[in-house]
Chain A
Amino acid sequence: MSAAPQNELRHEDSVPQLADVSVPAELKAWIEERMAMYPEPKSATIPCLMHAQKLHGWLSPDAVRQVAAVMRVTPAYLVSVASFYDMFELKPRGRHTIYMCTNISCMLRGADAVMAELEAQVGVDNGGTSDDGIYLRNFECLGACDIAPMASVDGTYIGPLTVADAKALVEDLRAERDVLPEKHLTRRPAAATYWAAGKRIEQGGER
Chain B
Amino acid sequence: MDDLLFHDIDEPGLNTIEVYERRGGYETLKKALRELDGDRVLAELQASGVRGRGGAGFAMGTKAGFLPKGTMDKYLCCNADESEPGTFKDRELMQKNPHQLIEGIVLASFAAGINKAFIYIRGEYDAQASILEAAVREAYEHGHLGENIHGSSFGVSLVVHRGAGAYICGEETALLDSLEGKRGNPRLKPPFPANAGLFQGPTLINNVETLSNVSHIIKHGGEWYARIGTEKSTGTKLVSVSGCVQRPGNYEIELGVPAREIIFGLAGGPLPGREIKAWFPGGSSSPVLTPAELDLAYDFDTIAGAGSMLGSGAIIVIDDSVSIVDVCLRTAMFYKHESCGKCTPCREGTNWTTKMLQRVSDGLATPMDLDIIASVQKQIMGNCLCVLGDAMAMPVSSMVNKFRGEFEAHIEQARAKHTPLSEAVRAPLDLTKQGAIA
Contact partner of B124 among A42, A81, A143, CB < 8 A?
A143
**Residues A93-136 near B (CB distance < 8 A):** 99, 102-105, 107-109, 112, 126-127
Q: Is the CB of B10 within 8 A of A193?
A: yes
Which chain A residue has the least Cβ–Cβ distance from B127? A186
Would you call A156 and B271 a contact (CB within 8 A)? no
Please report the C-alpha to C-alpha distance between residue A194 and residue B318 in the assembled complex, in whole angstroms: 22
CB <8 Å contact, B249 and A88: no
Known pairs A37-B159, A88-B165, A143-B125 / 13 extra A-B pairs, C-beta < 8 Å: A43-B181, A47-B161, A85-B163, A104-B243, A108-B322, A112-B434, A140-B337, A140-B338, A142-B124, A186-B127, A189-B10, A190-B249, A191-B248
CB–CB B73/A84 < 8 A: no
Comparing B80-88, B137-145, B343-351, B405-413, the segment that makes contact with chain A is: B80-88
Nearest first, the 5 A-B pairs at minimum CB distance are A191-B249, A45-B181, A86-B165, A145-B242, A85-B164
B364 at the interface (CB under 8 A from A): no
A86 with B180, Cβ < 8 A, contacts A143-B87, A145-B240 known: no
Q: Which residues from B are CB-within-8-Å of A137?
A: 437
Q: A43–B123 Cα gap in the complex (Å)?
A: 15
Q: Within 8 Å CB of A144, what residues of B?
A: 88, 91
Contact with B along A135-157 (1 / 0, CB 8 A): 00111111111101000100111
| A19-60 at interface with B (beta carbon < 8 Å) | 37-40, 42-47, 49-50
B179 contacts chain A at the CB level, 8 A cutoff: yes
Q: In the complex, are the beta carbons of A146 and B248 less than 8 A apart? A: yes
Q: Is A9 an interface residue (CB 8 A)?
A: no
- Residues of chain B from 348 to 371 with CB closer than 8 A to chain A in the complex: none
Contact: B334 with A108, CB < 8 Å?
Answer: no
List, in ascending order, chain B residues with CB within 8 A of A38's CB: 159
B331 at interface by CB-CB < 8 Å: yes
Verify if B23 is at the interface (C-beta below 8 Å from A): no
Min CB distance B288 to A, Å, is 11
**Which of A88, A105, A146 meets B164, CB within 8 Å?**
A88
Task: Encode contact with A along B172-189: 1 for CB under 8 Å, 0 otherwise.
Answer: 000000111111100000
Enumerate chain A residues within 8 angstroms of B159, measured Cβ to Cβ: 37-38
- Docked Cα-Cα span, A86 to B163, in Å, equals 10
Contact A84 B249 (CB under 8 A): no
Instruction: Tell yes or no: B22 within 8 A of A by CB.
Output: no
Chain A: minimal CB distance from B386 (Å) = 15
Asked whether B316 is an interface residue with its Cβ less than 8 Å from the other chain, the reply is: yes
Kindly state whether residue B206 has any CB partner on chain A within 8 Å: no
| Cross-chain contact of A108 among B122, B125, B316 (Cβ < 8 A) | B316
CA of A150 to CA of B6 in the docked complex: distance in angstroms? 23
CB of A175 within 8 A of chain B? no
Query: Can you report 26 residue pairs joining A to B where beta carbons are below 8 Å apart?
Result: A40-B181, A44-B181, A80-B183, A81-B182, A84-B340, A85-B184, A86-B165, A88-B165, A103-B330, A104-B280, A104-B284, A107-B327, A108-B243, A127-B432, A140-B83, A140-B338, A141-B334, A143-B83, A143-B122, A146-B248, A148-B248, A157-B127, A190-B249, A191-B248, A192-B266, A201-B246
Closest to A80 in B: B183
A207 located at the interface, meaning its Cβ lies under 8 Å from any Cβ of chain B in the complex = yes
A164 within 8 A of B: no
Q: Which residues of chain A (148-175) have a CB below 8 Å from chain B?
A: 148, 152, 155-157
Alpha-carbon gap, A200 to B87, bound state (A)? 21
| Known interface pairs A44-B181, A140-B338, A143-B83; A50-B164 also in contact (CB < 8 Å) | yes
Chain A residue at minimal CB-CB distance from B88? A143
**Closest chain A residue, CB of each to CB of B267:** A191
* A142 proximity list for chain B (CB < 8 A): 124
Residues in chain A near residue B271, CB distance under 8 A? 201
A81 touches B327 (CB 8 A): no
* Min C-beta distance of A80 to chain B, whole Å: 7
CA distance A50 to B84 in the complex (A): 23
Specify which chain A residues have a CB less than 8 angstroms from the CB of B166 in the assembled complex.
Answer: 84-86
Our pick among A87, A186, A195 for the contact of B165 (Cβ within 8 Å) is: A87
